[in-house]
Amino acid sequence: MSFHELKEFTEILRSLGFPRLVSNENFRFPNFPLMAEILEWTVKKFEPNIRLPKQMGSEQERVLFVKSVVLSLLQKAHVKLNPKNVYQRQELRQTVSTAGELPKIGANLYQLLRDEGFSKSFRPPYMDEYENLEKELKDRYNVYVTLFRNLHYLKQQLNNAKQAEREQAVNAEKNMRVAVERMRIESEQSALEIAGIKSDSGNFKSFDGENTSRSNGVFN
């Protein structure tokens, strides 16, 4: 990293609230503990409860720490880093360069979160009119639903009444046909009875005439 980049890097750390003072002199020589502290602080900006390896005395422990940081940044900040570039055995120059990019990303994220908070608190001048129209729309929709349900109920009642009238007309026609048929049968039976009475009356008169003739013959 150039002198200008180191200066910008330390200014970004200061503006983001890094808990200790960092200057360009801290990077004149390889300083992995400081880089580890900056990396851990950056990761905890995205995930405060994260647990990173504390032991960094050996090379394997430092490699494990770097891998944990790279994985956490990938999962929480969607920042993809190459662990080989973050940790190099030869004077850790690439570590300083890569670590310098992380505070910039954090600064951008901080600015975005601040803009988001401002956007949430900002109330456009047309919001009052919008809320009134939204309330009016809800009221009209409730009226529409009520009218629609009433109309559906009345249509159902009308259909039921028409169905009852049709059934009543069918029953009335059926009863009338039964009554007409009964009257026809009764009329036929009455006609037969009348015809039978007339036949019996003729036979009686014929029998009475014969008896009278016989009686006159006897007396003569």
Interval 25-34: pLDDT, tens: 777 766 778 8
How many whole angstroms separate alpha carbon 99 and alpha carbon 90?
16
State residue 155's pLDDT score: 92
State residue 193's pLDDT score: 76
Mapping DSSP to helix (H, G, I), strand (E, B) and coil, where does residue 152 land?
helix
Mapping DSSP to helix (H, G, I), strand (E, B) and coil, where does residue 16 land?
coil
Which structure tokens are listed for 57?
């005395």
State residue 89's pLDDT score: 46
pLDDT string in tens for the chain (220-residue length): 566 777 787 788 788 788 887 877 777 766 778 888 888 888 888 887 888 887 777 878 888 888 888 888 778 777 777 776 666 544 445 555 666 677 777 778 878 877 776 666 666 777 788 888 889 999 999 999 999 999 999 999 999 999 999 999 899 889 898 888 888 888 888 877 777 766 655 555 554 555 555 555 544 4
174-209 burial code (b ≥16 CB/10 A, e <16): eeeeeeeeeeeeeeeeeeeeeeeeeeeeeeeeeeee
Environment class of residue 165 by beta-carbon count within 10 Å: exposed (0-12), middle (13-18) or buried (19+)? exposed
How many whole angstroms separate alpha carbon 80 and alpha carbon 213?
147
Report percent pLDDT > 90 for the chain: 13
State residue 96's pLDDT score: 57
What is this structure's pTM?
A: 0.38
Contact yes or no for 52/68 (Cβ under 8 A): yes
Among 55, 37, 136, 47, smallest CA distance to 96 is for 37
Length reported for the chain? 220
Contact yes or no for 102/42 (Cβ under 8 A): yes
How many whole angstroms separate alpha carbon 43 and alpha carbon 35?
12
Residue type, 85: N
73-109 burial code (b ≥16 CB/10 A, e <16): beeebebebeeeebbbeeebebbbbbbbebbebbeee
Q: List alpha helices for 16-126, DSSP H.
A: 32-46, 59-76, 83-86, 93-121
State residue 213's pLDDT score: 52
